[in-house]
Structure 1
Amino acid sequence: MNATELVVDGLTLTVGARHLVRDVSLTARPGQVIGLVGPNGSGKSSLLRAVYRVLRPDTGYIRVDGADAWSLPVRRLARTLAAVVQESGADIDLTVREVVAMGRTPHKRLFDGDTAEDARLIDAALTSVDAADLAGRAFDRLSGGERQRVLIARALAQRPSLLVLDEPTNHLDIRHQLEVLGILRRVPATVLVALHDLNLAAYYCDRLYVLNDGELIASGPPTEVLTPHLLADVYGVTAEVVIHPRTGAPQVTFLPGEPAGVAMAGPDQSCS
């Protein structure tokens, strides 16, 4: 399985007279982890829905390895792209293992059962998200965090070359947040992920795209994008940004009570 290149060019999405996304372009090179960040309502989820073909663009295009994503046969796209969305599907009346096994469906013919290879991939996906002990449990009886891990396992079992995730760390404790994002760094796929936590995005993503009010505000490596000026403009907060001496990633500290826009340490400085 080879990672896929994703190109979004001039994407615009509207509902009535409202622009959800306006003229946004991004590129995810094969094997990169690309982060979408921005405030609530900035257009992150809408952009992702266009990529996994729930919202049809008004203008612009989405290309997967050069092919128009909206023209690909459903089965071919399902073998290429897996999505983890915010809705948990809590009413699914299946066991955890059955939910994860759904990820193998694009690779089978109708009425095919699980092969030994399917079983191996399902087990590996469950283990990778620390959910092997949940395999026999009813999915609709799980906690929010457990369901999230199972849905990520389902996407991994699909063996996609393009993985799209909308806030995958929601409901997860810190340990599982780190484990899940660590998996995204290791999978042989291109990853497009929306994240709220800027420090996690800075550490795990190769490039960040910052959205605000449906428009692309900035893009580039985290060290270039996450600046006090940008955080004040986009989030309306005052923050200090330093380079962590051990990780080499920008580390953002928010300063409550400070007036937004106060210049703080830039990303070229290290914390002691």
Structure 2
Amino acid sequence: MTATELVITGITLTAGAHRLVEDVSLTARPGEVIGLVGPNGSGKSSLLRAVYRVLRPKTGRVSVDGTDAWSLPVRQLARRVAAVVQESGADFDLSVREVVAMGRTPHKRLLDGDTAEDAALIETALASVDATGLADRPFDRLSGGERQRVLIARALAQQPSLLVLDEPTNHLDVRHQLQVLGTLRRLPTTVLVALHDLNLAAYYCDRLYVLRDGRVTASGAPAEVLTSRLLEEVYGVASEVTVHPRTGAPQVTFLPAESHDPDQ
């Protein structure tokens, strides 16, 4: 895998008369892990859909290495961009290994079989999400967390230069959350990821974009963005933000409403 540059310039996304995202710009430099954070309905998933070409911008542009993503042939885009979405959309009647092998499709011609290189990439992808032991199991018999790991493995097997993920830690236990995000952090590729857990975002992301009501409220390094003032403005909840003594990353603790004194 190699890294690519993603540039989103002033895009607006709509659904009928409703504006989902308005005038959003974002840059992910090659090799960066960029996090999207914000409350439900803030536009994170909609923005990602514009990148992996499900939701066409009404205005603005999504560029991959300087080329309009919406102008690329589907197969060519699939060789560059892989997505892990919240809704998998299908109960595949396939084994886990066969689902992960689907990630190799953009790199093949019609009727091509798997090569030794494909097999090695599939096994590596499975191992990276702790799913080797699931390889021969039916995908539709897996738990939600197991399915999520397999779909991430499928995206890794695709060897994209840009990996787009919408809440990849959903359904995962703590160990697998850390394992998956650690794997993403080490990839030689560019990653754009929407996350709800601000502490995970602070530790694993190079930069964050905070969305609220479809607009970018703040962007920058986690230590610059994650402030008590901004979090109260965006989430409507009081918090304390400290520096973790071991990781050096910002650590957010949300406070119950009854413990929050607005005069302090």
TM-score by length of 2: 0.98
User: Which digits, 9 at most, give the CA deviation of each residue in 1:162-201, with x for residues without a partner?
Assistant: 0000000000000000000000111111000000000000
Change (3 A) 1:8 1:259: farther
Unaligned ranges ≥5, structure 2: none
1:145, 1:172 within 8 Å by CA — same for their partners in 2?
A: yes
Gap change, CA 1:145 and 1:263, over 3 Å in 2: farther
CA contact (8 A) 1:228 1:261 kept: no
Q: How many corresponding residue pairs?
A: 264
Distance 1:242 1:63 in 2: 36
User: Do 1:232 and 1:238's aligned partners in 2 also have CA atoms closer than 8 Å?
Assistant: yes
Question: More displaced, 85-94 or 9-18?
Answer: 85-94
Q: What do residues 108-164 of structure 1 show as CA deviations (whole Å, max 9, x unaligned)?
A: 000000000000000000011000010110000100000000000000000111000
CA offsets, 1:83-130, max 9 Å, x none?
000013451111100000000000000000000000000000001100
**Structure 1 position 245, deviation (Å):** 1.6
Alpha-carbon displacement from aligned partner over 1:205-226 (angstroms, at most 9, x marks no partner): 0000000111110000000000
For 1:58, the equivalent position in structure 2 comes to 58
2:130 maps to a residue whose letter is D
User: Structure 1 length normalisation: TM-score?
Assistant: 0.95
Write the distance in 2 (CA, Å) between the matches of 1:53 and 1:206.
24
Match of 1:253 in 2: 253
Match of 2:166 in 1: 166
Say which SS state the counterpart of residue 93 (structure 1) adopts. coil
Residue in structure 2 matched with residue 76 of structure 1 by the alignment: 76
- Tell me the CA shift for residue 246 of structure 1: 1.1
Gaps of 5+ in 1: 265-272
Classify the secondary structure of the residue corresponding to 1:111: coil
SS in 2 for 1:41: coil
C-alpha distance in 1 between matches for 2:254 and 2:241: 9
Tell me which residue corresponds to 2:134.
134
- SS at structure 2 position matched to 1:92: coil
Please give the alpha-carbon distance, in whole angstroms, between the structure 1 residues aligned to 2:263 and 2:249. Answer: 20
The aligned residue for residue 38 of structure 2 is 38
Give the match for residue 269 of structure 1: none
